[in-house]
Amino acid sequence: MAKYFDSSPSKIKYDDVPYEKKEELFQQVKSDIRFDDYLYGCYECGICVAACPSARFYDFSPRRIAQALAREDVELVFQQMNEDVWDCSQCFSCLRCPRGNNPGGLITIMREVSINNGLRTAKEALEGYSRIIYKIMSTGTQVSPDMLQPEAFPDWGPEVKQVSDNLDLWRRALPPETMHTTTTSWEVDEKTIVELYLIWSMTGVMDLIRNVDKNLHMILTDVMEERLEEAGYEAN
Amino acid sequence: MATIPADGVRSTLAKKKGGFFRRPEDAPVDLREETLRLEAEGEWIVQRVAEPYVELPTKYGGKKKVPLEHTWHHKSCGQCGHIPGYSTSIFWLHRALELDYSDPKDQTSCTAWNYYASATSNAAAQAGVAMRNFAAAYESGYYPVIHCGTSFGHYKEVREEMVHHKELRDQVRAIMKRLGKPLVMPEEIVHYSEWVYAVRGLIAERRVYDVSNISVTVHPACHYYKLVDEDAIYDPEIYGGQRTAIVSGVAQALGAQVKDYSTWFDCCGFGFRHILVQRDFTRSFATLRKMEVMRDEANPDVTLTHDTGCVTTLDKSQFAAQGHDHKVSIPVMSEAQFAALAMGAHPYKVCQLHWHSTDYRPLLTKMGIDWEKAWAEFEEEIESLRRGEKEYLTWDDVDAAVPARSVALAKRGYTPSRFDGQS
Ligand code: SF4
Ligand code: SF4
């Protein structure tokens, strides 16, 4: 199987696949219900690039994304799905586009298709990120207070250690009664969590997780099935 | 750079051929009208903004209804999780202004931080999450007000998708049916900073600290005014209507000096995935493109913003930059925290500034707030929690600081088109 290389020749960036597979991925991007609202052609004016934070720090350009999709350049779209899309900051500054395009939104769709198809680069992009997905999907809130650990955030200054050392007391020193939690950002009641699980399972999100992280899928399924059953629902 | 005077902007624009004014006829399709049309066709229920509300000017000269009370607070993961003084200050402002609110437990995250970071979801799931929260608000009889800029922007994306795609509405309606909930779209999608802007007159009236010597820079949050931009608040009186008025208007009403800087349009560098797993980008962008530019061009005492990720990124990124000899140290907080401080809220019991990273103490000193005394008071509370004398700090412990001025809204000058709180 042919490999593509970046400037460091030893670093394999992504696996090549037959053209038909690339075409299929492109068609998946194009058939997303949002695609037609996000792309109307491209003037090549570069206004999106001027506004783009990621373009300042990476070899990345929202203009190239819009152009590749507008030209239906299947090869280039495949390359971008592997090399570019994870650099985007999803800030949507590129909505300044005078053509009415939404390059950031196109990238969201391209990422989703990469995940759905279990591309290796998508799996790599999610490395180190599973615990965040687990937290949001299983508890209904993300980046809970107990995730503020000094080892995880050494660059955030000494306050992180103080927060972590005093977490229980400092959380109890918050006047809103919903915020005394340490493992979730606020208290979410049981019925609401079960409703969230039903949404994940009814919209195919669990299948999508299986495609990129089997272990995460297994752990999440265990947690969800038990609580759904207790609430009188079947997972599917 | 000094504050942009609205008159100066207007006269400059008037000289330009054709001007730069947005015309109502250039506005995109009014999604609120579409929402009401779909209600008339039996597709869903529209939760109306009930009185008392204020009508604020939007980007293309329209009006947006912002409810003043009986609001259902859609909290933010990052605010509640690691900058809890943000959420607490929003609630405290409601209490101080005696405006009724609900802090619900049947609310989930919008899950959009994860979605924009990892794409491990899809349009139907994201719409399902949004509509479940909207249904919960509707069932409570309170109107949803959204704390997070990303939740706000994302929910507006969801509204747009739901309005334009019947198949998505049908799919989400089936989900809601299984949950035993109605399909409900709010008449307006409202961000908390719009509420703060709406009550800025009342806030200013209750200010107990003079902040006229405090200079501020404002970072407008991308997901507030770039995503589905047409109903963001733009006021001809602020920046000549050329930029969202939202946080600047509050700082100006309080009497602070709002200073300008050239990279105001740049994002903060949060990046959603970057802040968690590619923080070198986040730190570099926040320092080089935002904080150092503000320092060099405006030298503010504080940076105010109105979104979770922006406070986090701009505040937390400065520590590592200092380690690399970047001499930047500008405290960062939400306008809700700044307004609460100016109204006499406790810097630790309410604004919870000890969760912030960049040194805020020089700001408090300049505002005339004795932070050493305040910290000693907070530590006393902590000790009583430690000793088991009480389990939690409660609103009763902090509401005492609220100036008691129980005046009915009507007497405070309320009408839907005017609410400056001048009683
Ligand atoms: S959304 Fe992505 S492509 Fe668009 S401006 Fe932001 S970083 Fe650039
Ligand atoms: S701003 Fe729009 S039209 Fe201009 S280059 Fe970018 S995508 Fe193309």
What residue numbers bound the domain in which B113 lies? 31-192
Instruction: Look over chain B and give the mean of its residue pLDDT values, rounded to a whole number.
Output: 92
Number of domains within chain B: 2
- Looking at the fold, whether B138 and B271 belong to one and the same domain comes out as no
- Per-residue tens of pLDDT for chain B, all 423 residues: 455 566 666 666 666 655 567 777 778 888 999 999 999 999 999 999 999 999 999 999 899 999 999 999 999 999 999 999 999 999 999 999 999 999 999 999 999 999 999 999 999 999 999 999 999 999 999 999 999 999 999 999 999 999 999 999 999 999 999 999 999 999 999 999 999 999 999 999 999 999 999 999 999 999 999 999 999 999 988 988 899 999 999 999 999 999 999 999 999 999 999 998 889 999 999 999 999 999 999 999 999 999 999 999 999 999 988 888 889 999 999 999 999 999 999 999 999 999 999 999 999 999 999 999 999 999 999 999 999 999 999 999 997 655 544 455 656 666 666 665 543
Tens of pLDDT, residues A215-231: 999 999 999 999 999 99
CA dihedral B396, B402, B407, B410 (to 10 degrees): -100
Please indicate whether residue A100, judged by its CB atom, sits closer than 6 Å to ligand 2: no
Nearest neighbour of A57 by CB, restricted to B125, B281, B395: B281
The ligand 2 atom at the shortest distance from the C-alpha of residue A97 is: 1
Range A158-176 average pLDDT: 96
Q: What pLDDT, on the 0 to 100 scale, is given for residue B1?
A: 46
Please indicate whether residue A89, judged by its CB atom, sits closer than 6 Å to ligand 1: yes
| Nearest ligand by distance to the CA of A96 | 2
Q: What pLDDT, on the 0 to 100 scale, is given for residue A143?
A: 86
Question: Exposure of B327 by Cβ count < 10 A (0-12 exposed, 13-18 middle, 19+ buried)?
Answer: exposed
3-state percent breakdown (helix, strand, coil) of chain A, nearest 5: 60, 5, 35
Question: Exposure of A173 by Cβ count < 10 A (0-12 exposed, 13-18 middle, 19+ buried)?
Answer: buried
Tens of pLDDT, residues A64-84: 999 999 999 999 999 999 999
| Yes or no, beta carbons of A129 and B117 under 8 Å apart | yes
B13 is a domain residue: no
B67 is a domain residue: yes
Query: Ligand 1, atom 2: nearest CA belongs to which residue?
Result: A88
B411 is a domain residue: no
CB < 8 Å to A58, chain B: 281
- Residue % of chain A over a pLDDT of 70: 94
Which tokens is A3 given? 């490999």
Range A147-153 average pLDDT: 91
Chosen for mutation from A116, A174, A200 (greatest number of chain B CBs closer than 10 Å) is A174
Phi first, then psi: what are they for B104, rounded to 5°?
Answer: -80, 155
Q: What pLDDT, on the 0 to 100 scale, is given for residue B316?
A: 95
- Looking at the fold, whether B231 and B371 belong to one and the same domain comes out as yes
Q: Give me ligand 2 centre to Cα A105, in Å.
A: 13
Q: What pLDDT, on the 0 to 100 scale, is given for residue B162?
A: 97
Helices (H), B241-386: 246-254, 274-277, 279-285, 292-297, 308-323, 335-342, 361-367, 371-386
- Looking at the fold, whether B42 and B171 belong to one and the same domain comes out as yes
Residue B226 CA to residue B197 CA, distance in Å, equals 18
- Looking at the fold, whether B122 and B215 belong to one and the same domain comes out as no
Residue B164 CA to residue B168 CA, distance in Å, equals 9
Residue B397 CA to residue A177 CA, distance in Å, equals 13
Number of cross-chain residue pairs from A and B with Cβ atoms under 8 Å apart: 264
Nearest neighbour of A185 by CB, restricted to B81, B273, B355: B81
Domains of chain A, by residue range, sit at: 17-119, 127-230
Task: Please provide the size of chain A in residues.
Answer: 236
| Yes or no, beta carbons of B274 and A195 under 8 Å apart | no
Residue type, A52: C
Q: What pLDDT, on the 0 to 100 scale, is given for residue A14?
A: 87
- Looking at the fold, whether B116 and B256 belong to one and the same domain comes out as no
CATH number at residue B156: 1.20.1050.140
The ligand 1 atom at the shortest distance from the C-alpha of residue A90 is: 1
Domain spanning A17-119: which superfamily?
Alpha-helical ferredoxin (1.10.1060.10)
Q: Which residue has the higher pLDDT, A13 or A62?
A: A62
- Looking at the fold, whether B131 and B188 belong to one and the same domain comes out as yes
Chosen for mutation from A111, A129, A156 (greatest number of chain B CBs closer than 10 Å) is A156
Q: Give me ligand 1 centre to Cα B160, in Å.
A: 20
Q: What pLDDT, on the 0 to 100 scale, is given for residue A3?
A: 36
Please indicate whether residue A46, judged by its CB atom, sits closer than 6 Å to ligand 2: yes
| Yes or no, beta carbons of A198 and B175 under 8 Å apart | yes
Answer whether A31 touches B (CB < 8 Å): no
B262 is a domain residue: yes
Q: Give me ligand 2 centre to Cα A104, in Å.
A: 11
DSSP state of B149: H
CATH number at residue B362: 3.40.50.11810
Q: Which residue has the higher pLDDT, A67 or A1?
A: A67
Instruction: Look over chain A and give the mean of its residue pLDDT values, rounded to a whole number.
Output: 92
- Looking at the fold, whether B236 and B384 belong to one and the same domain comes out as yes
Answer whether A133 touches B (CB < 8 Å): yes
Which of B375-384's residues contact partners 24+ apart within 8 Å by CB, and which partners? B375/B348, B377/B346, B377/B348, B377/B349, B378/A173, B378/B346, B378/B348, B378/B349, B378/B354, B381/A173, B381/B349, B382/A166, B382/A169, B382/A170, B382/A173
Q: What pLDDT, on the 0 to 100 scale, is given for residue B26?
A: 79
